[in-house]
Amino acid sequence: MPTAVATRSAESGRPLAPAFDAVDRPDREGILDCVHCGLCLPSCPTYLTTGLEMASPRGRIHLMRAVDEGQAGISADFVKHLDQCLGCLACQTACPSGVPYGYLLEAARTQIERRYERPAGDRRLRRVILSLFPHPERLAWLLVALSWYQRLGLSGVVRNTGLLALLSPRLAQMEALLPEVPSAAARRPLPGVTPAVGQRLGRVGFLTGCVQRFVLPDLNRATARVLAAAGYEVVSPQGQGCCGALHLHSGDLETGRALARRTIQAFERAQVDLVAVNAAGCGAAMKEYGHLLRDDAEWRSRAEAFRARVRDISQILAGVSWRQELKPVPVTVTYHEACHLAHAQRIRKEPRLILQRIPDLQLVELPESDLCCGSAGVYNLLQTEMAGRLLQRKIDRIRETGASVVAIGNVGCLLQIGLGLRQAKLPVRTVHPVELVDWSLHGMPDGEPRA
């Protein structure tokens, strides 16, 4: 006998939204591919942390199936369990049945954002965060204000008194994540074209990103220098902005699609052979543009052609024969695998390969290297408690390695793990692998710790 469809949430009494509608609906076959074997459970960070079935991939797929079949509605409980998912895709890597968990999650979140009414505070915070990223000019102004906030010493006052944490743990988390804002000179844009050193191998378009170009500008400069040294002409196309990854992961597929089209157009105009990305989350999203725009007759083939050109920076550098001698970098490095490299893009060996080629660099493996650090796009701003527990676990593992440097191929993880190391007062430096290659090619910056 079919089960009656619930019309009100059992826990809050609020009316339930009916089951998924047809627009961006989670694929039923994908849901049914799950055979409930549970092989993904040991790799799921939220399941490992809570031990709860509903915080596991299997539990979340079960919830999606119930809503898909009209046995349940989009309830506060449903939203809570999907919100708590990091989107790290460790379950997708582990699943022997090929369940497309990432696509299911994206679609389920889109249904939530269109059809479920979040509490007002939650809605406002999400709107503020997502309205900042596609607009570099807004981020630039925010950075100017924040740099004055830090220079006037207000940051120290806020952190020492703990006042902000009392008012809003989420705002306190945002404030704490912020590294020292780079100077205006450091934040100046990259040149439109950086010429290749020596004979040109090809023309690479470089995604400068919406956050890292302001917050970690040295990383972008190092990336351009290293690509040029490898023989690539590096183009930073005008008109590129946010790649849309944060919107895609947050249930705003329409804005994600608009940002994808803008990104494709910017790189088409630049006429590049490859598109280089130094942020794992952005690279993973851009490699999915073909799927994202599959129903758009005008853009489908352009998205496919673009997707085929996208490379994580480690994929490019792993195949380079260096024309100049690599100099020793005598440091002990451990490597954290960003989820969107290891799981979404299945890139594991290339970053290690480029580090192993650096003379005198000692690479020590990080236990649980591919377990999420809690960053996960804007997850650490929205799910502060779970993000904090995962960060603590990551910092404990890093401490065990005894490394003085942790190499990380994603901007969000660089900020998140940097925060954890500062809070733990561990003398460990966070860098992107490409920065270590840059040190080897062009010399270590003054003051960098050796060994």
Which parts of this chain interact with ligand SF4 (CB under 6 A)? 34-40, 43-46, 57-58, 60-61, 85-91, 94-95, 97, 99, 101
Question: What CA–CA distance (Å, rounded) separates 8 from 73?
Answer: 8
Q: How many CA atoms lie within 13 A of 396 on its CB side?
A: 8
Q: Using alpha carbons, select from 346, 337, 336, 414 the residue that is nearest to residue 380.
A: 414
Residue 46 CB, nearest distance to ligand SF4 (Å)?
A: 5
- What single letter denotes the amino acid at residue 14? R
Q: Using alpha carbons, select from 259, 278, 302 the residue that is nearest to residue 431.
A: 278
Residue 89 CB, nearest distance to ligand SF4 (Å)?
A: 5
Which conformational region is residue 3 in: left (phi greater than 0), alpha (psi within -120 to 50 degrees), or beta?
beta
Cβ closest to ligand SF4, residue 91 vs residue 227: 91
Cβ closest to ligand SF4, residue 61 vs residue 125: 61
Cβ closest to ligand SF4, residue 213 vs residue 249: 249
Residue 278 CB, nearest distance to ligand SF4 (Å)?
A: 23
Cβ closest to ligand SF4, residue 112 vs residue 361: 112
Cβ closest to ligand SF4, residue 181 vs residue 378: 378
Residue 369 CB, nearest distance to ligand SF4 (Å)?
A: 15
**Residues 6+ away with beta carbon under 8 Å from 10:** 75
Q: What is the DSSP string of 247-302?
A: HHHTT-HHHHHHHHHHHHHHHHHHT-SEEEES-HHHHHHHTTHHHHTTT-TTTHHH
Residue 347 CB, nearest distance to ligand SF4 (Å)?
A: 17
Q: What is the DSSP string of 345-387?
A: S---HHHHHHHHTSTTPEEEPPTTTTS--S-TTTHHHH-HHHH
Residue 128 CB, nearest distance to ligand SF4 (Å)?
A: 24
Residue 427: burial class (beta carbons within 10 Å; 0-12, 13-18, 19+): exposed
Cβ closest to ligand SF4, residue 95 vs residue 382: 95
Question: What is the DSSP code (8-state) at residue 311?
Answer: E
Query: Is the separation of the CB atoms in 237 and 266 below 8 Å?
Result: yes
Cβ closest to ligand SF4, residue 98 vs residue 402: 98
Cβ closest to ligand SF4, residue 264 vs residue 391: 391
- The gap from C-alpha 143 to its chain's centroid, in whole angstroms, comes to 20
Residue 373 CB, nearest distance to ligand SF4 (Å)?
A: 12
Question: What CA–CA distance (Å, rounded) separates 435 from 128?
Answer: 32
Question: What CA–CA distance (Å, rounded) separates 272 from 240?
Answer: 14
Q: Using alpha carbons, select from 259, 243, 238 the residue that is nearest to residue 210.
A: 243
Cβ closest to ligand SF4, residue 33 vs residue 304: 33
Cβ closest to ligand SF4, residue 55 vs residue 347: 55
Q: 409-420 b/e with 16+ CB inside 10 Å = b?
A: bbbbbbbbbbbb
Residue 23 CB, nearest distance to ligand SF4 (Å)?
A: 23
Residue 180: burial class (beta carbons within 10 Å; 0-12, 13-18, 19+): exposed
Cβ closest to ligand SF4, residue 9 vs residue 43: 43
Residue 103 CB, nearest distance to ligand SF4 (Å)?
A: 12
Sheet holding 274-277, edge to edge: 193-194, 232-235, 202-206, 274-277, 310-312
Question: What CA–CA distance (Å, rounded) separates 400 from 395?
Answer: 9
